Amino acid sequence: MKIKAEQVKKLREITGVSISKCKESLESCGGDLKKAILDLRKKGETSVAKKEKKQTGEGIIASYIHSNNAVGALVKICCETDFVARNEDFKQLGKDIAMQVTATSPKYLSAQSVPAEVLEKERKIEEQALEGTSKPKEIVAKIIENKLNKFKEENSLLSQSFIKNPEITVEELIKEKINKLGENIKIIEFSRLEIHKK
């Protein structure tokens, strides 16, 4: 039985388990989502959802500076223990996220953190662009909503496609590491610096 990408994605969102393990589980369970969830639990796979509630009092400040020395980023990324904070996988995650910030220049951490006034401003821009169109109102409303969702996705670090693997988002990358390292991991803040040459 061929397993669809949407099935794997759904199972991954529920369990936080890696894509490969989700696919294996779905294949062995004939594509049945509920059976696959039970299968992963029996195998002792970690539930990301439980870990995401835990406090993150340790961590690192990760950095990335581009080869031209004119643009870079700092990222404050936290975990539960200093043991994980010293782990090479965790350090690499910090560097990868700093590289992501440098390359994509996100303005917000998550889609939920985009201020309402920013979205309202974007909405007005889109409304003006579609003024005088012959399209029905409900179609126009849907177009605007889709454009706002895309704006949030592109400008939010967690919802961006990961530059090293565009098949997953930064949020999914973090969930993979939570599952692998067995601790909650959170990006607390980030900052991008650039020299604007004249």
The 10s digit of each residue's pLDDT in 18-60 is 788 888 888 888 888 888 887 877 766 555 656 666 777 899 9
Q: Give Dmax over CA atoms of the chain in angstroms.
A: 61
Domains of the chain from N-terminus onward: 5-45 (1.10.8.10), 51-109+156-194 (3.30.479.20), 115-155 (1.10.286)
Confidence of residue 123 (pLDDT cuts 50, 70, 90): confident
Mean pLDDT of 168-196: 90
Closest CA to 66 of 12, 35, 102: 102
Nearest-angstrom CA–CA distance, 63 and 35: 42
> Which tokens go with 120?
């309202």
Nearest-angstrom CA–CA distance, 14 and 51: 13
Buried b (16+ CB within 10 A) or exposed e, 136-164: eeeebeeebeebbeebbeebbbbbbbbee
Nearest-angstrom CA–CA distance, 122 and 27: 43
Confidence of residue 101 (pLDDT cuts 50, 70, 90): very high
167: Cβ contacts below 8 Å, ≥ 6 apart? 161
Q: pTM here? A: 0.69
